[in-house]
């Protein structure tokens, strides 16, 4: 516990908003870390999410766009076929109605919780559930509560957002995604996006990387997780390759299958005592474990992976149906020998940080943000290179030479306790130095102070913020 004089958020009431909270995706895990950090400093924290959220203090149905028929319909109309004048008129009416409904729910929520500060992730950047951003901003512009927007992705990164069939939508996104206001500070998750935001919109944004609490107790093996793996055919002498990400196409899980296939073909070179003392034999197995859930809309991609694994004679184990129920995401890390991170695109790299903390070696594809924000720290990793070819079926193919070089490095490391342990200790210290949650704590504190001073609030006494009034939003039309 931090000393009383260092509790920089004491008295604060912090509202954190995202489409979904409390799950095992990267943003949910990051938000959970922030909540714990703020509460350790004696702040009161409330989480807001959609209907698929777990342990949220407030639920707003329309935040869950994936399972919200009306919200998805509006998004599809905004970027779908050319609308007739009547269809566009009806679209604008429905869009405005949904935005107004969200404004009222947000106003009611604020009236109940009375936040002194607000953090919103992605809603003002990615361009999904478009009425949500406008609905929230309508209220924020009235109350002007100091607000931090954390942006992991921007709408212009997708081809969809460039094809709006409704003339008002493009200007809507230009104005609101993200907004520029005196009471708002924007943060981008990496340097590349920070530069893009300034180049495209002239909006400055500092960088707030993903972070992890490197002061947590070390992950330990738990009986229920061991039993779950045994149920799926994993024995003590086997090797476990863990892919702890969600199952979505950009995670390039087929890259992990290619790695597992090649490692299986060279398993004779693994026979003998491994880094942790276990004996690997020709009867031992190599498993690729997927512990994240299947993202909405990625069911076909998962079926492609199952088929590819079958054709490649790779033992693929999917545990995602049990995540957040029978086990928590971190529970599988202690059983892994290698953490797979073959993503071709990431805002940063949450699971990569988890692997540094878990003291495991990593196999990583060098996606753009990895090269711009992570590689320079000097971490050790097994490289899958930076090039892929996308096949007609949408799956990515890694160069054979690159995979074989990665396998050679992996076998060498798995067979040497000295090499493995030197590797993981070095990476742990690098992770703690560059990506510990304390860095996020300092960034939030500094910027909350700046925003509070702008609003003429004594930043050392958050609780003295001016009382909030939202009644105008709650009045009937």
Q: What is the pTM of this model?
A: 0.84
Rounded to whole angstroms, how far apart are CA atoms 452 and 465?
A: 9
Mapped onto helix, strand or coil, the DSSP state of residue 251 is helix
How high is the pLDDT of residue 157?
84
Residue span(s) of the chain under CATH 3.40.50.2000 come to: 4-211+436-471, 223-433
| The listed CATH number (3.40.50.720, 3.40.50.10790, 3.40.50.2000, 3.10.20.30) that belongs to domain 223-433 | 3.40.50.2000
Helix extents (H) in 283-416: 299-311, 350-358, 368-369, 400-414
C-alpha to C-alpha distance for 308 and 164, rounded to whole angstroms? 36
Give the pLDDT of the chain (477 residues) as one tens digit per residue.
Answer: 444 447 889 999 999 999 999 887 878 889 999 999 999 999 999 999 999 888 899 999 999 877 788 888 888 888 877 888 898 899 999 999 999 999 999 999 999 999 999 999 999 999 888 899 999 999 999 999 999 999 998 998 877 776 677 778 888 888 899 999 999 999 999 999 999 999 999 999 999 999 999 999 999 999 989 999 999 999 999 999 999 999 999 999 999 999 999 999 999 999 999 999 999 999 999 999 999 889 888 999 999 999 999 999 999 999 988 766 677 778 999 999 999 999 999 989 889 999 999 999 999 999 999 999 999 999 999 999 999 999 999 999 999 999 999 999 999 999 999 999 999 999 999 999 999 999 999 999 999 888 887 765 433 333 333 333 433 433 334
CB of 414 closer than 8 Å to CB of 387:
no
DSSP strand pairing (13-17 vs 117-121): parallel
Please name the helix (run of DSSP H) or strand (run of DSSP E) that holds residue 69, with its range, or none: helix 69-78
Q: Which of 356, 330, 344 is nearest to 425 (CA)?
A: 356
Dig out the tokens for 421 from the structure: 């342990």
Give the pLDDT score at 468.
38
How far is the C-alpha of 147 from the C-alpha of 352, rounded, in Å?
28
Residue 200 CB partners (closer than 8 Å, separation 6+): 156
**Topology adopted by domain 4-211+436-471:** Rossmann fold (3.40.50)
Of 295, 303, 304, the C-alpha closest to 246 is 295
């Amino acid at each position: 516990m931090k000393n009383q004089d260092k509790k920089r958020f004491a008295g604060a009431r912090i509202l954190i908003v995202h489409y979904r909270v409390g799950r095992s995706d990267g943003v949910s895990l990051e938000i959970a870390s922030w909540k714990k950090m703020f509460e350790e400093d004696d702040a009161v924290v409330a989480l807001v999410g959609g209907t698929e959220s777990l342990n949220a203090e407030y639920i707003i149905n329309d935040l869950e766009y994936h399972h919200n028929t009306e919200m998805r319909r509006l998004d599809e109309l905004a970027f779908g076929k050319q609308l007739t004048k009547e269809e566009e008129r009806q679209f604008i009416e429905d869009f405005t109605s949904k935005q107004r409904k969200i404004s009222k729910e947000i106003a009611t929520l604020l009236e109940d919780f009375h936040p002194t500060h607000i953090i919103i992730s992605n809603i003002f950047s990615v361009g999904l559930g478009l009425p949500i951003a406008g609905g929230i901003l309508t209220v924020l512009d009235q109350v002007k509560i100091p607000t931090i927007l954390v942006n992991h992705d921007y709408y212009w990164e997708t081809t969809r957002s460039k094809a709006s069939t409704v003339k008002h939508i493009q200007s809507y996104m230009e104005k609101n995604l993200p907004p520029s206001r005196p009471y708002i500070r924007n943060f981008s998750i990496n340097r590349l996006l920070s530069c893009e935001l300034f180049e495209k919109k002239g909006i400055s944004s500092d960088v707030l990387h993903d972070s992890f609490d490197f002061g947590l107790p070390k992950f330990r093996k738990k009986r229920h997780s061991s039993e779950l793996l045994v149920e799926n055919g994993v024995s003590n002498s086997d090797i476990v390759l863990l892919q702890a990400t969600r199952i979505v196409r950009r995670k390039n899980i087929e890259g992990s299958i290619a790695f597992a296939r090649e490692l299986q073909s060279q398993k004779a070179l693994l026979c003998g005592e491994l880094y942790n003392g276990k004996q690997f034999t020709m009867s031992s197995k190599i498993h690729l474990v997927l512990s994240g859930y299947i993202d909405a809309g990625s069911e076909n991609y998962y079926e492609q992976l199952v088929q590819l694994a079958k054709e490649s004679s790779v033992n693929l184990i999917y545990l995602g149906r049990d995540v957040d129920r029978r086990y928590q995401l971190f529970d599988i890390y202690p059983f892994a020998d290698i953490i797979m991170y073959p993503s071709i695109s990431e805002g940063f790299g949450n699971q990569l940080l988890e692997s540094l903390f878990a003291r495991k070696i990593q196999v990583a594809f060098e996606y753009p943000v990895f090269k711009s924000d992570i590689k320079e720290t000097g971490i050790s990793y097994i490289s899958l290179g930076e090039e892929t070819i996308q096949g007609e079926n949408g799956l990515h193919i890694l160069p054979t030479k690159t995979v074989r070089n990665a396998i050679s490095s992996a076998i060498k490391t798995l067979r040497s306790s000295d090499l493995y342990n030197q590797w993981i200790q070095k990476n742990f210290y690098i992770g703690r130095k560059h990506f510990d949650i304390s860095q996020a704590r300092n960034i939030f504190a500094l910027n909350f102070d700046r925003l509070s001073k702008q609003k003429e609030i004594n930043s050392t006494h958050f609780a003295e913020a001016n009382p909030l009034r939202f009644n105008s939003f709650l009045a009937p039309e």
